[in-house]
Amino acid sequence: MVCSGCVLGSTRNSVVFGDGNESASLMFIGEGPGENEDEQGLPFVGKAGQLLTQILNAAGIDRKDVYITNIVKCRPPGNRAPLPEESAACDPILQTQILLIRPAIIVLLGSSPTKWLLKTTEGISKLRGRWFNWRGVAVMPMFHPSYLLRFADAKKQGSPKHLSWIDIQEVKRQWESVKATGELEGVRFD
């Protein structure tokens, strides 16, 4: 694919659209492809992706049952955060993905997708673990798996890994409710 919407197209190997169940009611949106993703053309296949898969498996969520994408589809140099103009260039693609997948729940992995989709300047530490209503879709910001790789102690109460475990369990509970009844159960939106 030829894309000239931003400078990222000139430095990438692969366009990384997304992967997973295209009828999923649960969607994960990350920041952008890293080196492994750029090489393989699939999102979340490097170390952070392997950790995401472990988190999903531990929560009883099969990766093949969800859809995973990023706000930008080409790798930012050095795995830096996408610039606003790069996110803006890919936004029509992301919006189309969301419209086609039609998830009931979106999990925003990290600060960049959280700030982009929710149009906020607040950081992920303040927003994670809370439900937001975005155009009729329930949205839960969580820490990005690459952030979690920096922490060894997963069981320490209040650690980012512990908080992520609490968050993914809540996502799983709501996803099960959506699958069973078509609705979220007792969610209060911020």
Based on the structure, what is the number of domains in the chain?
A: 1
Average pLDDT of span 24-42:
94
* Residue 31 is assigned to a structural domain of this protein: yes
* Residue 2 is assigned to a structural domain of this protein: no
Q: Which residue has the tokens 């393989």?
A: 40
Please tell me the distance from the alpha carbon of residue 84 to that of residue 115, in angstroms, as a whole number: 10
Taking CA atoms, 7 is separated from 49, 82, 87, 90, 179, in Å, by: 25, 11, 11, 12, 40
Of 9, 104, 26, nearest to 69 by C-alpha is 26
* Residue 167 is assigned to a structural domain of this protein: yes
* Residue 188 is assigned to a structural domain of this protein: no
Find the domain containing 143 and state its range: 7-181
Average pLDDT of span 159-173:
94
* Residue 36 is assigned to a structural domain of this protein: yes
Q: What single letter denotes the amino acid at residue 60? A: G
* Residue 189 is assigned to a structural domain of this protein: no
* Residue 86 is assigned to a structural domain of this protein: yes
First to last CA, the chain: 39
Please tell me the distance from the alpha carbon of residue 172 to that of residue 99, in angstroms, as a whole number: 22
Q: What is the CATH number of the domain that holds 96?
A: 3.40.470.10
* Residue 154 is assigned to a structural domain of this protein: yes
The pTM (predicted TM-score) of the whole model is 0.94
What was the pLDDT predicted at 150?
86
- pLDDT surpassing 90 at residue 190: no
Of 124, 129, 162, 130, nearest to 144 by C-alpha is 124
Of 68, 78, 66, 82, nearest to 31 by C-alpha is 82
Residue-wise pLDDT for 104-136, tens only, equals: 999 999 999 999 999 999 999 999 999 999 999
Rounded (5°) CA angle 167-172-177: 130
